[in-house]
Amino acid sequence: MLKGTGHAWALLSGKSWDNFIFKARFKFSGGTAQFVYRNNWGEKGPRRYYVGVHSNGLYLGKELDSQHSQLAQVNLQLDARWHTIEIRGFDNILNVYVDDELLIKYKDTSTPVLSGGVAFEPTEDDTVLFVDDVEIKPLNKEEVSSP
């Protein structure tokens, strides 16, 4: 089990994938935590997707050369118990599941990030994030839902 406190990163370095499933169990208290998907560095800075979770919902965002964009948002009550998050990406289509429920289906038609690694990021000083049972596995096109 991993524990992150405050604004910090846990990064799996030296690994990169294109079409894959990133799944983990998590529990957090306070603030916001982000699950980073297809994390890599371009010529002008970071390129990545991230799913932020907080007590009232979650959001899908993208950072492209240090510019952030919010792509989707879902209202959802997340209590302090263990939950499962799963991010699936095939080409420019992303699916986000929480507790086995598909909550976000998104197709990135504007400069998609097509490969990279994974990371965890508590984003605020009062955030405590626990992560366990991390899985990364290949994804077939049939395993992703188009928007």
> Which of 28-32, 92-96, 98-102 is the least confident region?
28-32
State mean pLDDT over 2-21.
86
pLDDT at 44: 81
Look up residue 40 and give its two tokens: 């890599």
Tell me the three state secondary structure of residue 77.
coil
Task: Give yes or no for residue 45 having a pLDDT over 90.
Answer: no
Would you place residue 41 in the very low, low, confident or very high pLDDT band (cuts 50, 70, 90)?
confident
Contact 120, 85 (CB under 8 A): no
Q: Give CA separation, 89 vs 63, 93, 94, in Å.
A: 16, 6, 4
pLDDT at 1: 81
Would you place residue 112 in the very low, low, confident or very high pLDDT band (cuts 50, 70, 90)?
very high
pLDDT at 24: 97
Cβ count near 58 (within 10 Å): 23
Task: Give yes or no for residue 68 having a pLDDT over 90.
Answer: yes
Handedness of CA 54, 144, 99, 85 (dihedral sign): negative
List the domains of the chain with CATH numbers: 2-143 (2.60.120.560)
Query: What is the largest distance, in Å, between two alpha-carbon atoms of the chain?
Result: 40
The amino acid at 35: F
Q: Mean pLDDT over all residues of the chain?
A: 92
Bridge partners, 47 (sequence order): 40, 64
% of the chain at pLDDT higher than 90 = 69
> Which of 33-37, 39-43, 46-50 is the least confident region?
39-43
What is d(CA 127, CA 145) in angstroms, rounded to the nearest whole number?
32
Contact 72, 98 (CB under 8 A): no
Angle at 93 between CA 95 and CA 136, to 5 degrees: 60
